[in-house]
């Protein structure tokens, strides 16, 4: 079919005019070019396509060492280190499905003045770590090995630093220990932790009593920061908990005393009533600054279970989804070198997938901030109405 005839046929269909050309199915087949195939079939509606995060290109990064990227979204379907309700192994799948309305053509973030999917960063959905549910010791080894493998690769662009950044979709919160082990190896320094959670997760392992104790049981989703701190992985004195409202062990303040020794600043869920989201943002930024490497860890149970019921250890009295997102937007100046969104357990979610939707939005906000930070480091201009066009490190 000649190019002119093909154009007339296509333009006739687009304009709604009935074309007098030979019906398509009666024509001799002529193969399209690769470019034309991409133009015709590369588009996806939000409700279509295979469930990758935000319709990103999917690649099993762990088996493709030559494929370079700047930010990888990595599923970690592991939940056998939980202390209450299991089910977070299905979290990566649920968050990916909930992210389906995020598309490259409709993801401009007006608060930041950028579309993270159309900026400098090559972002891939790196698939999942095939974590065993049978052996927690081996699972921790697998997760650590995966973070070492991906973290030690070169990024596609030098804009975002010397190493690619991994955003993990959990999975239970214990994956943070493996991520911090990987980051300490890659960056050769302890990492500051910004931890959004209802719970401390710095509990001494013996605070989980058992008449049948074992060394392996000390690794769980409430003790991983205690282990990380004692291994020297965490930059104690620069780390922060935010959204706390948990009950404590025993009859005294022992859990807080352990936490203080590990160098965390504690911001409770109630504090937002007194200081507001802006006060929470200021407390975090004053503590962490904009230069030290930060691991941003978001347990979805920081949100009130009335708004995010799909989680394994729900605690009443949490922040709203809007409050959490507002705080995440306010800390965009942090030097985030890795992140996670964990404890999404879709079996307990509502029919509207509200917990998974919150997780997908949290991931989008973190992605936006990482990409924007790269632009700021380059001295690029971000046009945001109501603000000066040039956003500098001093303003973040």
Exposed / middle / buried, residue 264 (Cβ in 10 Å: 0-12, 13-18, 19+): buried
Asked whether 296 and 176 are in contact (CB, 8 A), the reply is no
Place of tokens 């690029």: 380
State how far the Cα of 75 lies from the Cα of 88, in Å rounded to an integer.
Answer: 11
State how far the Cα of 210 lies from the Cα of 33, in Å rounded to an integer.
Answer: 65
Is 301 annotated to bind a ligand? Reply is: yes
Is 25 annotated to bind a ligand? Reply is: no
Three-state secondary-structure class, residue 191? strand
Is 204 annotated to bind a ligand? Reply is: no
For residues 368-381, one letter each, b for 16 or more C-beta atoms within 10 angstroms of the residue's C-beta and e for the rest, the string is: bbbbbbbbbeeeee
State how far the Cα of 380 lies from the Cα of 391, in Å rounded to an integer.
Answer: 8
User: Length of the chain, please?
Assistant: 396
For residues 234-257, one letter each, b for 16 or more C-beta atoms within 10 angstroms of the residue's C-beta and e for the rest, the string is: bbbebbbbbbbbbeebeeeeebee
Exposed / middle / buried, residue 220 (Cβ in 10 Å: 0-12, 13-18, 19+): buried
Q: Which residues contact 29 (CB under 8 A, 6 or more apart)?
A: none
* DSSP assignment of 96-159: HHHTTT--GGG--BTTTTB-GGGSS--EEEEEE----SS-HHHHHHHHHHHHHHHHTSPPS-ST
State how far the Cα of 341 lies from the Cα of 195, in Å rounded to an integer.
Answer: 10
Is 304 annotated to bind a ligand? Reply is: no
Is 299 annotated to bind a ligand? Reply is: yes
State how far the Cα of 21 lies from the Cα of 2, in Å rounded to an integer.
Answer: 12
143, two tokens: 């997760």
Is 195 annotated to bind a ligand? Reply is: no
State how far the Cα of 21 lies from the Cα of 29, in Å rounded to an integer.
Answer: 15
- Other C-beta atoms closer than 10 Å to the C-beta of 221 total 28
Binding-site positions for Mn(2+) read: 173, 197, 199, 201, 299, 301
Binding residue positions = 173, 197, 199, 201, 299, 301
């Amino acid at each position: 079919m000649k190019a002119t005839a093909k154009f007339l046929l296509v333009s006739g269909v687009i304009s709604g005019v009935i074309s007098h050309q030979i019906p398509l199915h009666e024509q001799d087949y002529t193969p399209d070019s690769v470019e034309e195939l991409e133009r015709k079939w590369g588009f996806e509606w939000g409700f279509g396509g295979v469930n990758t995060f935000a319709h990103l290109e999917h690649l099993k990064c762990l088996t493709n060492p030559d494929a370079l990227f700047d930010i990888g979204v990595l599923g970690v379907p592991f939940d056998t280190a939980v202390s209450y309700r299991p089910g977070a192994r299905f979290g990566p799948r649920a968050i990916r499905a909930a992210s389906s309305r995020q598309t490259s053509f409709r993801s401009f973030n007006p608060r930041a003045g950028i579309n993270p999917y159309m900026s400098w960063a090559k972002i891939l959905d790196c698939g999942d770590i095939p974590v065993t549910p049978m052996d927690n010791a081996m699972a921790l080894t697998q997760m650590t090995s995966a973070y070492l493998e991906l973290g030690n690769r070169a990024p596609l662009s030098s804009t975002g630093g010397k190493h690619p950044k991994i955003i993990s979709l959990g999975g239970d919160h214990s994956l943070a220990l493996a991520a911090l082990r990987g980051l300490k190896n890659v960056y050769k320094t302890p990492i500051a932790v910004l931890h959004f959670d209802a719970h401390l997760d710095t509990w001494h392992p013996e605070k989980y009593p058992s008449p049948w104790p074992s060394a392996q049981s000390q690794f769980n989703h409430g003790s991983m920061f205690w282990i990380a701190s004692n291994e020297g992985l965490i930059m104690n004195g620069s780390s922060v908990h935010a959204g706390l409202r948990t009950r404590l062990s025993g009859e005294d303040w022992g859990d807080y005393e352990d936490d203080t020794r590990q160098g965390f600043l504690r911001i409770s869920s109630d504090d937002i009533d007194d200081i507001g989201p802006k006060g929470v943002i200021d407390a975090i930024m004053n503590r962490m600054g904009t230069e030290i490497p930060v691991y941003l860890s978001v347990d979805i149970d920081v949100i009130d279970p009335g708004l995010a019921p799909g989680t394994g250890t729900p605690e009443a009295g949490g922040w709203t989804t809007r409050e959490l997102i507002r705080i995440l937007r306010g800390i965009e100046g942090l030097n985030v070198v890795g992140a996670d969104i964990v404890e999404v357990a879709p079996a307990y979610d509502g029919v509207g997938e509200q917990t998974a939707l919150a997780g997908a939005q949290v991931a989008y906000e973190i992605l936006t901030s990482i990409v924007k930070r790269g632009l700021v480091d380059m001295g690029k201009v971000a046009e945001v109405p109501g603000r000066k066009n040039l956003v500098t490190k001093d303003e973040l």
